Amino acid sequence: MKKFDLSYNYYYPFYTMDKAGVKKYYYIEKVYMHLSRDTELMFEFEYREKKLNKIVFKKITNGKITPYSKKTTHISYVEFAKRINTFQSFLNKGLRSLKQSVPYLKREIIFLKAYKFNTEFELTFDYSNIELSKDIFNHQIIDGKKISQISPIKGVAESETLNKLNIFLESAERTNNSYQPMSEDRFNEELDSVLERIQPYMLAPKKLFKKEYKI
């Protein structure tokens, strides 16, 4: 008996979404724009108690993201665009808050990233990654190192373990990372360069391609 061919036969670009967690407490959405078999743009949204507190953008080129998982939901361009509007709105809010903050060049061992923070937002980006978090940030940059201002935890059963973990994380941060001031103009130019590379992909596609999607 001849069997039906049910193998996937994708045309690019197409869009998928993965979800994890519980919206009431901690919830993550990852939205993917698939450009080819090996390349995706990922937009991640992290929620705590139903409030968006972190966004992440990554360009993935290792071909490890599969759209075949049973947990993956295929979405339309309209649904994808709604998430991108959320991403853009949160990014704009963070940039407005960080406008008066000092920009830094963050060195992570051999990698360089642009960095800005205040007591409400923390932004890091490089050539193909953007990460913006909203939280309470109680640290300072002193002599090129990020120094935490968080006081030891008291009156909690796990306080000793948590304090040891905070000390370990701060030690690792000081050992592996360093910060040096950069000009506001350079910071803005590099951020604009990253966003300009993303922007063309955000347009509604006028054509679908069998092998890959290029602009």
pLDDT (tens digit per residue) in 107-120: 987 889 999 999 99
Whether the upstream peptide bond of residue 205 has omega within 30° of 0, thus cis, is no
pLDDT (tens digit per residue) in 13-56: 889 999 999 988 999 999 999 988 888 999 999 999 999 999 99
Residue 182 clears pLDDT 80, i.e. is over it: yes
pLDDT (tens digit per residue) in 73-130: 999 988 999 999 999 999 999 999 999 999 999 998 788 999 999 999 999 999 899 9
Residues 6+ apart with CB under 8 A from 35: 12, 13, 41, 201, 212, 213, 214
**What integer pLDDT is reported at residue 155 of this predicted model?**
52
For the chain, give the mean pLDDT: 84
Token pair belonging to 87? 């991403």
